[in-house]
Homo-oligomer: A and B are copies of this chain.
Amino acid sequence: MTSLGVGLIGTGYMGKCHALAWNAVAPVFGDVERPRLVHLAEANAEHAAKQSAALGFEKSTGDWRTLIADPDVDIVSITTPNVFHPEMAIAALEAGKHVWCEKPMAPAFADAGRMVEAARASGCVAALGYNYIQNPLIRHMKKVLAEGTIGNVHSVRVEMDEDFMADPSAVFFWKSEASSGYGALDDFGVHPLSILSILLGPVEQVMADLAKPFHTRRTQEGKDRAVETFDIAHILLRFAGGVSGAIQLSRSAWGRKGRIAIQLFGSEGTLLYDQERMNELQIFTRQGKASEQGFRTVLAAPSHHPYDKFIPAPGHGLGFNDLKIIEAREVMRAVSGEGAHIIDFEKGLAIERTVHALAHSHRDGCWVKL
C-alpha cells in the first residue's frame, strides 16, 4: 500500500493543527508510513497556494470540491466553520474518502443525523476531532477505571470554564446571538460530554439550568442589546450505569483559561484531572496507613502511552497541539481497520443529542430522558 494521501480543507487554527499533526505523526510514532500531504483547499486559490507552501502540501485549490475529487486524496481533514461540516463531510464520504472532521458535527441535529447516515453508507472512517480524549492521562484514567483501581465509580463532576466572555463591557458579538446556538452548552458542553462518554458510557437523564451573567451587552453602535445565549450552564446527569453527576460550564469565569476539571469518585478511590494542568493526574486510593494516605500527583510519563512516543523522560510535558498528533495516529489506525480510540460520527451524534436534551430540560424545568 502507498502512503495515505491527505487533503485539508480550512487553515484556521484547527487547520494548522491538522497540518502539524499530519507532518509530525510519522516522526513521532515511527511505526507508520509518512502520509503524503496532497491537497489543500482554502476560500480562494491565492490563499490556498500560500498556505500550501507553508504547511507542506503538494497541490492547492480555491474550491474544496476539486480536493474531494482528487484521486490522490484518501482522507479529508475538515476544519472549516461548523456550518459547512455537513455538506463537506457528506460529499467526501460519498466520494469514498475517509473523513476527519472537527467537532461539533453540525448546528442542526438533523444535519448531524444525515452525516451519520452518509458515514454508514460509505463504509469509510468518519472521525471527529475530540482531541482532549487523546491526552495520555485521560487515556490512563480510562485504564485506571477498567482496572478497578478506584473501584466502582458512583459519581462524577466536571467543570469547564474559560473567561473569553467574562467582560460585561466587551462589545456584543455573534456568540451572544441565538443563531450561534444555546451558549456554553453547545460551545463547550460537548467536550465534557465527550470525555464522560469515553470514561463512563451513555447518559440516561439530564437536567440543566442555563443562566445569563449579563442580560444585555453594548453593541458597537453603543446601544444595549439583549443577550440571547447562556454563557453559564449548571447540569445534573444520571448515567445508564447508575452513576450520578454534575457539569458546570462557564465562558464568563474570570481567570479560567482552559479549565476542564474532572472529579471521579469510586468505591475505592478518587481521580482528579484539570486540563489547565494537562500533564498531571491525581489519584487517591485508600491503601496503606491512614497517616500516609493522600492524593498522589502523577506527572505524565512514558508509562502513559503514547507519551513515550514524544519524550523518553517523565515529567517533561506534552502540549495541547500534541494531542492532535495522537489523534492523527488514531485516525490512521481506524483507516487501517485497527481498533481506534476516537469518537466517530455515531458517538458524536449521541453527544449532540444530549446537548439538545439539556436545552429542552432547561426550557421545561424538568428532567429529560435520552
User: Which A residues are closer than 8 A to B by beta carbons?
Assistant: 13, 16, 19-20, 23-24, 26-28, 30, 33-34, 53-56, 140, 144, 149-151, 154-155, 157, 159, 162, 164, 166-168, 207, 209, 211, 213-214, 232, 234, 236, 238, 244-246, 248, 250, 252-259, 263, 265-270, 276-279, 281-286, 289-299, 301, 303-304, 310-322, 365-367
Contacts and interface: CB of A to CB of B under 8 A. Distances in A.
Contacts of A281: 294
A266 B254 contact: yes
A251 to B, nearest CB: 11
Contact of A265 (B150, B250, B318): B250
A82 to B, nearest CB: 17
Given A159-B157, A254-B266, A267-B214, A290 B303 contact: yes
A258 B365 contact: no
Contact of A297 (B53, B248, B250, B294): B294
A44 to B, nearest CB: 17
Contacts of A149: 292
Contacts of A238: 209
A111 to B, nearest CB: 26
Contacts of A278: 317
Contacts of A312: 13
A296 to B, nearest CB: 4
A291 B295 contact: no
B257 A314 contact: yes
Given A250-B155, A298-B292, A318 B319 contact: yes
Q: Which 4 pairs across A and B sit closest by C-beta, in order of nearness?
A: A257-B315, A319-B319, A255-B284, A154-B213
Contacts of A285: 254
A282 to B, nearest CB: 8
Given A232-B155, A234-B236, A319-B317, A246 B248 contact: yes
Contacts of A303: 289-291
Nearest to A19: B27
Given A167-B267, A213-B265, A318-B319, 19 more contacts: A13-B312, A20-B28, A24-B24, A150-B254, A155-B211, A155-B232, A250-B265, A253-B263, A254-B284, A254-B285, A256-B315, A257-B315, A258-B315, A279-B317, A281-B294, A297-B297, A310-B320, A319-B322, A321-B322
A76 B322 CA distance: 26
Contacts of A28: 16, 20
